[in-house]
Structures are given as structure tokens and as C-alpha cells.
Amino acid sequence: MVDSWQQGAESSLQWFDNLYKQYASYVYKIALYMLHDPVEAEDLCHDVFLDVMQRREQFDPRRGSIKAWLGVKTRSRAIDRLRKQKKEGLSYVDVVKSAANNSTDPTVETVLTNLEIENLHESLQHLPASQREAITATYFRSLRQKEWAQITGRPLGTVKSMIRYGVNNIRKQFIQMGWLEP
């Protein structure tokens, strides 16, 4: 698909047709999962593919797959719609939690989980190295804070502060991305 993506202008209509056939149901499932409204989901799916057709140069194959790019684009558009609607006074987080509890489609849950993981990895890359290393060691490699302090030769209080600041920085990034409420 990436090859046809890069070939471009001479067969753009055929390229778009193939892209749509391959990913329309994927985009629709994410939209429906997040919006809980088939009409809104179809409209969002249309908007996403219209945007892709008009701005396909935004895709960078070095940053990830087309599927991931479409998933992130769909999720972002759905969040924008949810923010505009604010149905029944529910926050985005409430709507997503409700959707997760009511979902019967494991594919959608897997997609959203993968997006959360991708966003976490991206957020980690924006942390100062000391915070990123401390969080990675204690959360992902299951080292205790005391063990990490001994390995790095830093005081335990410093390691605890680095982790606390790092987690707070990730929380701020997730708030900016719309994954958490302030």
C-alpha cells in the first residue's frame, strides 16, 4: 500500500479507491465505537477520507503505517466531535469509559489500546532523559525505586522526584491530546 501511496498522481483515483476499500470499515469501527451513533460515524468516516484525499502528503511512512495514521486521525476527529457535542454533560473520558464498558467488538478495543500505548511511547520520548529512564526502569522493567537509585548512584528521594515529575509530565501530555480530563 505504501508503494501505491508514493506513486501518486497518475493513479490517484485508483489509489484512493483501494485505500478506501481496505480501510473504510476500520475507520468506521473506530468512529462508531467512540461516537455511538451510526450516522455520526459515517459522517466522520467520510470526513477522514476526504481529508486524506486532499492532504495525502501529510502521511509520513517513516512515522508509522497508513492504518495507524488513519486510526489516529479518526480518533482525533471523534474527540473533536465529542467535545463539540458534550452530550448530556458527559466528558470525553466518561463517554470513552462508557463505550469501553458497553463494547462487544474486541477489534475496536484493541485499536484503542494500541493507540493509548503509541501515545504513551510518544509521551515518553518528550520527557527529559532522567525522567524517561527512571519511569522505564520502574514501570516497564519492574525495578523498585530503591534498586534504580542504587544502579544509578542517585539518592532515593531524587529518583522518586524524577518519577513523580515524569508521570506528571505524561499526564499533562495526555490532557493535551484529549486522553485525560484536566
Per-residue model confidence as pLDDT tens digits over 51-67: 888 887 888 888 778 88
Establish how many alpha carbons lie within 13 A of residue 107's alpha carbon, considering only the half-sphere containing its beta carbon. 9
pLDDT the model gives residue 130: 92
Global pTM reads 0.48
Are the CB atoms for 47 and 77 separated by under 8 Å? Answer: yes
DSSP letter, residue 56: G
pLDDT the model gives residue 133: 92
Task: Say how many Å lie between the first and final Cα of the chain, rounded.
Answer: 39
pLDDT the model gives residue 153: 95
**C-beta neighbour count of 4 within 10 angstroms:** 15
Amino acid at position 13, single letter = L
More confident residue, 74 or 177: 74
Q: What is the mean pLDDT of the chain?
A: 79
Domains of the chain are: 2-104 (1.10.1740.10), 126-182 (1.10.10.10)
Q: Kindly tell me the burial class for residue 125, based on how many C-beta atoms sit within 10 Å of its own C-beta (0-12, 13-18, 19 or more).
A: exposed
pLDDT the model gives residue 5: 46
